[in-house]
Amino acid sequence: MITKHFNFEYIGGTPNVPYAAGDRYYSQDLARDFWYLIDRLGSVGKDLNGQPKFIIEGGVVTVLGPKAISFTNLIAYAPGTAKVPADNALPPTLTTEQIEWIRIVTGAQSLADITTYGAVLNGVAVNNIKVSYAETDGLTRARAKAAGTYAFERASSCLITISPSPVTAYQVCLGTLIGNGTTNPIYATTGRTFQRLNIDGNKKYTITVSTTSGSFTTSSAWAIPYQTSDGVWRIKIFINGIISPTSATLTFNITGITFAVATVVQELGFAQVWTTQSPPLLGAIAGSAFALPNSNQLKAVLASSQTNWIVQGDFELASKPTWVP
């Protein structure tokens, strides 16, 4: 964390002038103030979001071949480091300070040979796909007071590393790979950095629903997937439709999700079930529903056979739904 910046205070006398009046604002002062502001902005974001690092969107990995992968546009936040002048000596003494939060952005990437990024393809090693903040040189120009040229601007970039080494505090992880270099590697989301679904709130998705028996006609079916602060995925579900023939028990298949594993099904969540009635709690025939662990199925029960069904509940998932970007 960078805690010091240039003194902009005023003396308070007459005339009221800055303490720094008559001094020079050195380039090392400017560099330190720049990183101070970046660090302060990062600290605010970290405090408000309660996460040391996370993925905003993207970074979805696709295996292209035995040594090739790609991933989609990535936006993430993680700590970074910066070399900060500690004094006004010539040259100044440098210290390496941690930036509380810095934005990592990269366009879609296609990596033809992941071994050049450090991957170990021996069929056993678990390779972490890691991305961290980096900068690259921009345009150059001649120095005004010294010989030679230098890159007078820097551009935000990223550093991609794929290796068995652990994920550091400064890296976000896109998942893991195990490969042998001759067949397509096995990709898993194991260890993937916490991902916020939406920076401005959770999105409602239309979902595809069917039943294991009878013919179910959907009137309305939607879900709101979200993550808890510890990274666990959950889902709010609403289903409204008509079953033929009538039934007192239905098992719904919900495309693209897997409920978590639990010894006691009630741990996963609970849903209420009604027949179509308005308002539903006044005179409706009520029932309940529960998730079947490690499946995409939701079992619902009513007090008697009915045609109209409404199911609404909140459940824990094993992973992010496949239809969430």
Hey, where are the domains in the chain?
27-188, 205-316
Q: What pLDDT, on the 0 to 100 scale, is given for residue 303?
A: 82
Task: Give the pLDDT score at 89.
Answer: 78
What pLDDT was estimated at residue 276? 63
Tell me the Ramachandran region of residue 39: left when phi exceeds 0, alpha when psi lies from -120 to 50, beta otherwise: alpha
Q: Which long-range contacts (CB under 8 A, 24 or more apart) does 194-201 make?
A: 194/51, 194/53, 194/54, 194/55, 194/227, 194/231, 195/54, 195/55, 195/56, 195/57, 195/227, 195/320, 196/49, 196/51, 196/54, 196/55, 196/56, 196/227, 197/225, 197/226, 197/227, 197/324, 199/56
**What is the per-residue pLDDT for 45?**
76
**Predicted pLDDT at 170:** 93
pLDDT confidence of residue 47: 78
pLDDT for position 285: 59
As a whole number of angstroms, the distance between CA 97 and CA 196 comes to 27
pLDDT, averaged in runs of 10, over the chain (325 residues): 82 83 81 86 77 84 94 91 82 86 90 96 95 92 89 89 95 94 90 66 85 92 84 88 92 94 74 65 69 92 87 90 85
pLDDT of amino acid 199: 43
In the numeric block, the tokens 């594993």 are attached to 261
pTM: 0.62
